[in-house]
Structure 1
Amino acid sequence: MTTSAAVASGGFRDAMSCDVCTELYEQSIRTPLVLPCGHTFCRPCLTDIKKKGSFHCPTCRAGHNNLQVVALTVNYSLLNILALCNQFEYDKCATHGDDLRYWCANCDQSLCCICLYSGHPQGHTVKLAQTFVTEKKQKLEERINAVFKNINEHKNELKKGFNDVDALVMQLFRKNIHFHNTEMAVKDLLDDIKKANGIASVLSYEKLVGEFQSKKNLADPGEEKAREKADPSVDTRDKVKNLPAKDKDALLVTTKDLKEAASESTEAANTAAGTDPNWRAMMDYCDGRLLLHTLANPTTTRMSMQMPHEVFLELGVGDKCLGRIYIRLWCHLCRAQQLLALCMGTMGPSLLKAKASDKMGNLIVFRSAVDRDNKSVSHALLTGLEWGGQHSKPETEGLVTGIVSNNLAFGICIQRQTGTSVNAAFGVVVAGHEVTKAAFQHNPVSEVTITSCGLVMPGFSQEG
């Protein structure tokens, strides 16, 4: 085919394909159905959209919530044209100009009628071009199916791997709690040994110390007895049940003991509840569940998790992706919590599909979010948003600031501007600032769209 014919054929094929899944329409499965707004999509795609609850046209966003997919009209005009789209396309012989209707398996090349009957070697295996294409497509589909099978096997391995990781994390936290409680019990035992003044108690302590020194006693009771919901310190209680009354109390690790131990780190609590962007919350394992404790409770020596404080915005213009911006939020501020909610969509509206609105000096500004019905939202999600006073900061590169005192608008500083300030700084770009600059330089800036957004996953570690 000529280049123009190929382009025309490609465009014709696109017109015969569903805009959602890009697959060609067909009579049996991907039947083209017409929405009341006039746009056509295949039955499986419309069924999937309907299942999600909000039934809107993928092209014009017209609402069809009360419409059933089974009641939609089939686009028979498209099906009739599709028959032409599926007709076999012959290339032209460069020598004779005829259709290349044959394929020689020995020569591995296409032939026209003149090529075949004027000098082509006898005894070669020659097939009709359509037969060759059909057989080749079948073999290619078999190879593709083998690739799919391989991919699915790897995906299943990954799924098992994720499940194993989840189980490993639970096991690690169970062990962590067990050894933490055992350590507290041993410390209490040491204190009581120093205070002991009787033969019976000293001999009892000697036996208990010997058992603590053995590896078996230090093993995680959850592994040996498979007691997911057991108190990790129960073995310690068993070891001291025959001690004198005052000595038993020294080894029992209770919730009260844990709270008293945690209360010793007042400064850590003040930091966590204040302005530290790297605040961490204690993680715990209890009743077969992972628990994330309040920031008011200091982490002490427990496993802890870094609290979410970094988000990302992926910017694009049309089909072009500009890249991602990573913003570290000052999460003690309401504006930072509001942007966190907008990035995740936890309060309804999100920044997904939101567009830049304008420029203000050195700021690229986003003034609205998008709700679940694809409507623009500009009102604040939280009250008490910071403005002015101690929240005013010099305008520096990458600074993220509120724009209006009572709504969700925010802007990102492109470069430092001497002598100017912003009124509600609540974060800073830590990576991808070149993406911000590219978006700022695009004209018009209103074409810049947030194509994806979300949270940078925090990590956890053992402190102390």
Structure 2
Amino acid sequence: MLNSNGATNNVFSPVGEDKSRRIASTNGQLPTTRGKTAFVMNSNTSKECEICNEDFSEGNHCPKVLPCSHSICTLCVEQLIAGNKMNCPFCRKAFNANSANDLGTNIGLLKLLKYVSELEISLKAAPVNMKGKRTSTLLKMYKAENKEIYDESAGRCTKAVYYIKRSIQQNSSVRESLIDVRKMIRDEIYPALEEIEQRAETHIGFLGEEIEKMQRQAKAVSRQKETIGEVEDKMQGAPDFSHIDPLLEETEEMIARTNDVMGDLKKFLIKNKETREEIEKRTKKIEDMVTAAKDSLIPAGEKQEDEIDLSSEMVAMATEEDVPKHLNISYLKEMRRPVQSSLQKGRIYAVQPQQESKRYAQITVKGDNEFCLHHLRDEPPNCEFHTVDYDDLMKEMNTAPGLTFLELGIGQDCLGRLLIRLSPPGTNKAHHFFLLCTGEKGPSYANTNCLKVLNKGDDKTEFAVFGDYEKNDGSGGKAIIPGVDWEEENQKDEYGRSWVEGLVGGKSTEATAAMFGIFLRDNPGSEMPGCFGKVEKGLEILTDALAKNPDMGKCRIVDCGIVFSM
């Protein structure tokens, strides 16, 4: 890689004599390799890897695309990862991968190289007088293929132009809404607020005056009461009452004035009620205006989050790059084709929010209409991934058949999966097993050991014991759901009792409710209370492991989860 001064930067040193060369530039001349000119335009169109100078091919030198769009071969990527130098050799942008398989392949470049190789072989093999004819035939074939690619690209571009135009129209609508909102605030909301404030000040002043009148009237009435009391004292023993006539007239006048004040106060209260109602109406109108303004300011993308174009034309054109970062349930259910690649690569996860963190459950494909939801983990994926809400997924998924899976392994080797059908799926013991397969309550069966094999070699009673998520030694595995009488559960009639091959379960207590046995032999005529499921597929994986590995303590459950459909 060339620095700003024209010198060569050594990113890392590939192993081998042929990989020790570096790309250099001298007076603007292109570098040569093995006597031939390499058409090095950039890292995306080079015929060979610009690190080791080896021609790209489908083997160890398969072109891998880094997140920055530069391409280098698989062997060079592996050496970068092994040397913990996970930066693009050309632009120094960091990338994250455990192996070269985590990165995409530059399929377009491989096709181009294949076409060039076929063309060269054809030209070399053809006689001199046939070269022009064969070349013409190949060119016609490439022209036809390129026309198909062009037509498809043109269709996608037409769609893109349509959505761009629609976005421009939506942005124009938002701008017009902003102008309308600003005009509404200036012409309606501000004057309405000023009017309400003025009315409130007027009525507050009027109310203050009326209160002062009432206070003066109350003092006058109090004085009149005292005067009447004095008159009554003087009237005792006085036969002549003529001198109190003026006082009675004054009292009547005072009562009339009081009635007038009370009438004015009543009118004021009625008027104040009408004003309050008017203020409430105007306030409600303003609230509606503000709500409408907020709605008009929501970006079009947010308002149309669930309005995904699911037409057959768009589904056929969609690719993995078209899958949004966060999927809603309808997208996952309806657009199976564009998410198929992401599901097969294990890049779709259900996310369960916690108080201070998140948990992640991988979703993979089992069949045409069946998915596998793996157990929840605390660690986020170490690659690019898409998400879906865990709770929304659990509401939509169909788990009525109660199908779960346990993936077994020994050391670094994966043995395969046991598919276990819960029967009946709605009972306490089956539900408890279901929750430990999903990890929804915290613990799960993942990374737990085979604890022991009881009655080993017995043709009738041999069975393997698993499930101690607490201590992994057979002394733990307490219940994760409270309030269940496990002794009573063991005796319920809905749990299977006939001892048959593949039966799952056994007697449980509060302290060991998570532990279970898988019965490996038929035992006609015998009963085993407390069983809740049966291995539907994969029992031979466990029996073969038992036959080949005397120490079954090395066997463990490496993964677990449930199978569902939507």
TM-score for the superposition, normalised by structure 1: 0.38
TM-score for the superposition, normalised by structure 2: 0.32
Over alpha carbons, which structure has the higher Rg? 2
